[in-house]
Chain A
Amino acid sequence: MAQSDEKKAPAQAPQGDPNVTWEDTAKHIGEDYSGGVVLVADERVDKVMISRYCEPAEIGNLTYWDEEIARMAGYRSQVVPWAMVKEVPTYSGNWRPGQPTRFPLDADVDFQSQLAARAPTSGDPPLPPTNAGFFTDMTIEYFEPVCLGDRLTTMGRVLHHVSPKETRVGVGAFLGYTTSYFNQKGELVAKATQGNYRFTRKAEKDIVR
């Protein structure tokens, strides 16, 4: 198939149940879809993790870069940027010794490997059919600062909202899940509700750019 034809193909195989409506999905608000899994980050926060994170946007707050300045400002040690808290320090590894390859030889060049676990999940509530999706919004509160040496734990994935809507790219609904993040002392460091848009993609000619 030519590349131009590929772009017009359906986004991906439809997922979901045609007998389910978004109103049915909304009845599951408040239910936990983490499966009770407590996800402990593989790696403790270190200086390199913070520096690499700050480089692309050139984030220069010195509490992220200089241990003495962070201590002067009242922190235990160098601080994790607030935007980073629920991201890199919460991840598990993309591959570890003894695990099978993430990149099988028969994978094509656009193959999407299943890499690190990012959030505890036991799936979703019943959903109508959709064939595409992306992140849309987030509300996050911060509590204890995250510093060098901390090891974070991620808990919970509670359905927070379901809002059906047609947008420029498709027809579907905004879904949000709430997750909490703790340090190694069990102190709450952040609580976030993340939203994503699950939708059936419109035909290419109908998408408003």
Chain B
Amino acid sequence: MTTQMTPFYPNVDNTVRWPITPQVYFEQVKEGDDIPAVDFNLTYQRMIMFVGATRNFPGLHHNERVAQKRGAAPGIFLQNNSCLMLWERVVSDWMGIYGRVRAATFRITDFHLAGEIIHVGGKIQKKSQDNGLNLIELAMESMTPRRVGMTGTVTVALPSLKYPTTTPRWDREGKATVVCQ
């Protein structure tokens, strides 16, 4: 007697699985506004996830002995791009699917160490319309439990209420190639 094997393949789900967060528009924000902050709990497991995600494997970021000897650090600390990932989360969640980052500048001023909670927030410090773009300059800051751990700015191009579903684009000179004002 033979048994009939019936393969089972689940139906492919082509539907959108995630809710789209509300879009922020240039006209709706003003200088001095805070954007929603996030607290990041840097557990050891998460530190190792950051190392894998960035494929950045120097021992400074996963080996306490190496961090202390070669990095002059108390222990393992986030690699620079992982520090920027924290800002990416805060800024990208806020700017929505039609916002785009034009530029970023940052300086790391303290180690982001395993076991710490890092508070990341931003404030709108400048709002301008340059080269056909609606630009928002965010003053960003990451706070470690000791002091400011990273500071700088992220400049975001936002859509306008007039063109609510247009993602800004620009050329090498930073001039808009898609009308969004």
Does A associate with B in a complex? Answer: yes
Q: Does A33 sit at the interface, judged by CB under 8 A?
A: no
Contact of B97 among A6, A9, A56, A61 (CB under 8 A): A61
Q: Does B18 sit at the interface, judged by CB under 8 A?
A: yes
CB distance from A130 to the nearest CB of B (A): 12
Question: For the complex, what is the distance from the CA of A2 to the CA of B96, rounded to whole Å?
Answer: 52
Q: Does B86 sit at the interface, judged by CB under 8 A?
A: yes
The reply to whether B72 and A169 contact each other, CB–CB distance below 8 Å, is: yes
- Per DSSP, chain B at the interface is mixed
The reply to whether A138 and B54 contact each other, CB–CB distance below 8 Å, is: no
The reply to whether A53 and B97 contact each other, CB–CB distance below 8 Å, is: no
Q: Does B25 sit at the interface, judged by CB under 8 A?
A: no
In the complex, which residues of chain A have a beta carbon less than 8 angstroms from the beta carbon of B106?
137-138
Q: Does A105 sit at the interface, judged by CB under 8 A?
A: no
Asked whether A170 and B59 contact (CB < 8 A) given A74-B166, A83-B87, the answer is no
Interface positions of A from 3 to 59, Cβ below 8 Å from B = 3, 6-7, 9, 11-12, 52-59
CB distance from A10 to the nearest CB of B (A): 9
CB distance from A76 to the nearest CB of B (A): 12
Q: Does B65 sit at the interface, judged by CB under 8 A?
A: yes
- B101-129 CB contact bits vs A (8 Å, 1 = yes)? 11111111000000000000000000000
The reply to whether A62 and B97 contact each other, CB–CB distance below 8 Å, is: yes
Q: Does A201 sit at the interface, judged by CB under 8 A?
A: yes
The reply to whether B57 and A142 contact each other, CB–CB distance below 8 Å, is: no
Contact of B105 among A75, A81, A138 (CB under 8 A): A138
Residue of B whose beta carbon sits closest to that of A144: B169
CB distance from B95 to the nearest CB of A (A): 8
Asked whether A65 and B18 contact (CB < 8 A) given A59-B89, A81-B92, A170-B72, the answer is yes
Residue of A whose beta carbon sits closest to that of B120: A57
In the complex, which residues of chain B have a beta carbon less than 8 angstroms from the beta carbon of A74?
166-167, 169, 178
Q: B residues engaging A (CB < 8 A)?
A: 16-18, 20-21, 40, 46, 49-50, 52-60, 63, 65-66, 68-72, 74, 79-82, 84-89, 92-93, 95-98, 100-108, 146, 152, 165-167, 169-172, 174, 178
